[in-house]
Amino acid sequence: MHGDHIYGLPGLLASIGLSGSSSGIELYGPAPLKNFIDSCLYNSSSRLAYSLKFHRVENAATNKEILFEDSELEVKTAPLKHRIPSFAYRVNQKTRPGRFDIEKAKSKGIPPGPVYAALQRGEEVMLEDGRIFSGKEFCGPPRTGLSMVYCTDTVYTESSIEISKEADLLIHESTYSHKETEMAYERGHSTATMAAQIAEKANVNKLILTHLSPRYNPGNQTCPNDLLNEAKAIFPNTQLAKDFLQIDLNKSYNCNSS
């Protein structure tokens, strides 16, 4: 609930309302989130043209329950260690159908279009000429879903390791450099070294460092690349976060800033 994590949310919700692009939004977060949003909207005389539904995450985090689930995704959460209640979130993609063999489908004279999508989902389809095909004929073995973990404000804690186990991507706060370890513990934040240690122990595939202190802005004695190198010394597959960074986990972690 610290300001650098929530101050932008009321404005975003208001902008969504003005655009008329939402029929309703569900918000997941700590218990005080509802009071904060309600107060901001009330005191700014903002009226949303859609409904808001709030979900508290504390029970799911404590009891290790699923926080959210649909046909494609599962979201879990875990308590972290900060000056106020803070949480990590893990998004797991469910098992996906095997890769679709387009060439095989073409060789059978199956026309491209929605029927391909149905076959890829493993469904049985009937063509206009009466032929029936099963998706199982054209798909490889099921593929394990991808996973991403985001650890918000926290000092080094075992719960970060536990929720990050075997994740494809870990986004972890790295507010301080290793030489400010004492300050990190005092203020409930992580160093780049701590983030890398968590990534290594959790055996994740890739680590992204975020939430760097402004004291490391380029031009200062210590800069972001110093924190990056600090983490890479422990966990080589590490990258710095930046505005508009995109990471496609389906493409072996190719990154761009478009």
pLDDT of residue 202: 98
Is residue 63 domain-shared with residue 163, that is, in the same domain? yes
The predicted-structure confidence for 132-161, as pLDDT tens digits, reads as follows: 999 888 988 888 899 999 999 999 999 999
Q: Which residues are catalytic?
A: 4
The predicted-structure confidence for 73-108, as pLDDT tens digits, reads as follows: 999 999 999 999 999 999 999 988 788 899 999 999
Is residue 169 domain-shared with residue 219, that is, in the same domain? yes
Is residue 90 domain-shared with residue 204, that is, in the same domain? yes
Q: What is the CATH number of the domain that holds 189?
A: 3.60.15.10
Q: What does the block give as tokens for 71?
A: 């046909």
Strand, helix or coil at 28?
strand
Is residue 238 domain-shared with residue 224, that is, in the same domain? yes
Those residues whose C-beta lies under 8 Å from the C-beta of residue 109, and which sit 6 or more positions away, are: none
pLDDT of residue 120: 85
**Containing domain of residue 20, as a range?**
1-56
Chain position carrying tokens 């008329």:
20
The predicted-structure confidence for 215-239, as pLDDT tens digits, reads as follows: 998 889 999 999 999 999 999 999 9
pTM: 0.85
* DSSP assignment string, 120-156: HTT-EEE-TTS-EEEGGGTB-S-BPPPEEEEE-S--S
The predicted-structure confidence for 160-202, as pLDDT tens digits, reads as follows: 999 999 999 999 999 999 999 999 999 999 999 999 999 999 9
Chain position carrying tokens 């992204």:
208
Is residue 148 domain-shared with residue 198, that is, in the same domain? yes
Is residue 37 domain-shared with residue 18, that is, in the same domain? yes
Is residue 52 domain-shared with residue 62, that is, in the same domain? no
Is residue 148 domain-shared with residue 252, that is, in the same domain? yes
- The C-alpha angle with vertex 53 and arms to 51 and 59, in degrees rounded to 5, equals 180
Angle of helix 33-43 relative to helix 8-19, nearest 10 degrees, comes to 60
CA distance 200 to 121: 35
Is residue 4 domain-shared with residue 107, that is, in the same domain? no
Mean pLDDT of 57-63: 97
